[in-house]
A and B are shown apart, each in its own frame.
Chain A
């Protein structure tokens, strides 16, 4: 009897009392329009969104209210304490004329707001407008020193991004520089540390390349697992006054834990897909992650609560028995699951398109020279 089971769940929850604050965030791509054409972009190389497809300000207001209501219902029914936020991005989010209104609305509804941008069109006035709208912090994508960055993101984009960073810092905002790691820039990361220090930003972050969309041509630039390991060991061991080195990479989060006990079969940390947030694309499509292009529905027609509870894709992401390769048998699965987007893009390049396959760059507890070679012949 479903109702009986549900009742039992609720009783147990009530007895368990409130949980610690749970980070729940929505990554929102307000537009696909962008003033750059980066080589590694996970967005498909299609023409700018046709007029009329991006959600309007009015629709966005309704979606913010729906997400707020949904979180309110979950908090009330299951005694969850959420720390809700939006990562606002694009395309280039600063290209939206109503960006500051959207941010203000999200703040008014109790969400923290972070903006992810290429930095190139942020003048002093816009930096100040971001502060006034209530933005918590801004992430600017920087791929390495000037020639590396420009070779990936286009000529002149480095200078423009640095100009934007200066304006953001001048307005008093917290800034993260974030690099997408691949063989195109891995050797230049020490210079990124100098750059971050020189610019005076507060954080330096890293993500791994997802060879999808325009970036699918960069499959050969994916780093072998052993090189990711060495890079992370070097970068994450740095202790620099005033500069925090950050990454959300689930595999990186496993590095400090030796002899991991079996964390069980309930996903609760690591990859956020299906667990602690979702992504909304410019046309309202809902996906598990900005880098994992599996449609779950559309925000214009589908209820978030319904999608969150009943999506078969989200159900599969939460089910250890559905995972393949090493991730499927790993005792760290509950707190890791690797990067599902990389697993998907990589498997797709081999003609399999399996978002539950193992993370091809995982270096945890594997002998780089033998295990990696066995699993990843083409990455060697």
Chain B
């Protein structure tokens, strides 16, 4: 028997494992582009370069949603 913190009885039926039935399915035949061109690398370097400089100057607090 389970009680909540107020001492009231919680009437919870246990949940059977059969509820955990969702799984995904592989999608085949899709191609993933992996090679990065110089323009992409340049943009990447600018992003991380700027960010790193900013991090040195300001401590950050990020929203983890």
Residue numbers of A with Cβ under 8 A of B are 2-3, 5-6, 9-10, 12-13, 16, 19-20, 22-23, 25, 27, 30-31, 33, 35, 51-60, 74, 77-80, 87, 94-99, 120-121, 123, 159-160, 162-163, 166, 195, 198-200, 207, 248-250, 253, 263-264, 266-272, 275-276, 282, 284, 289-291, 300-303, 305-306, 308-310, 318, 334-335, 339
- Residues in A neighbouring B56, C-beta threshold 8 A: 16, 19
B1-45 vs A, CB cutoff 8 Å, 1 = contact: the mask equals 010111000111011000111111111001111101011111111
A207 to B65, CA, bound (A): 7
Contact (Cβ within 8 A) B36 A268:
no
Q: How far is the CB of A230 from chain B (nearest CB, A)?
A: 21
Q: Do A19 and B52 have beta carbons less than 8 Å apart?
A: yes
CB distance from B6 to the nearest CB of A (A): 7
Residues of A within 8 A of B58 (CB): 263, 268-269, 334-335
Distance A159 CA – B25 CA, assembled complex (angstroms): 34
Q: Decide: A270 near B44, CB < 8 A? Known: A16-B56, A19-B56.
A: no
B52 partner, pick from A5, A78, A95, A249, beta carbons under 8 A: A78
Q: CA separation between A195 and B8, bound complex, in Å? A: 13
Q: How many chain B residues have a CB neighbour from A under 8 Å?
A: 51
Q: Is the CB of A163 within 8 A of B10?
A: yes
Q: Which 6 A-B pairs have the closest CB atoms?
A: A269-B60, A198-B5, A54-B24, A248-B63, A78-B48, A268-B54
Cβ of A302 and Cβ of B33 under 8 Å apart? Answer: yes
Q: List 16 A-B contacts (CB under 8 A).
A: A9-B46, A10-B45, A13-B52, A23-B64, A51-B25, A54-B22, A56-B23, A56-B24, A78-B45, A121-B15, A162-B10, A248-B65, A266-B54, A282-B24, A303-B32, A309-B44
Question: Inside 8 A of B2's CB, which chain A residues have their CB?
Answer: 163, 166
CB distance B52 to A289 under 8 Å? no
Shortest Cβ gap from B56 to chain A (Å): 7
Asked if A98 and B42 sit within 8 Å, CB to CB, the answer is: no
B36–A52 CB distance below 8 A: no
Q: A residues within 8 A CB of B22?
A: 31, 33, 54, 95-97
How far apart are the CA atoms of A285 and B12 in the complex, in Å? 36
Q: Which of A9, A33, A56 contacts B25 (CB 8 A)?
A: A56
Given contacts A9-B46, A78-B45, A163-B12, contact A16 B65 (CB under 8 A): no
Known interface pairs A162-B10, A300-B30; A97-B60 also in contact (CB < 8 Å) = no
Say whether, besides A12-B49, A22-B55, A163-B12, A95 and B19 are in contact (CB < 8 Å). yes
The complex places the Cα of A114 from the Cα of B53 at a distance, in Å, of 29
* A310 and B38 alpha carbons, distance in the complex (Å): 12
Distance between Cα atoms of A140 and B53 in the complex (Å): 36
Quick one: given A163-B12, A289-B65, are A59 and B20 in contact (CB under 8 Å)? no
CB B35 to nearest CB in A, in angstroms, measures: 9
| CB neighbours of A200 from chain B (8 A) | 5
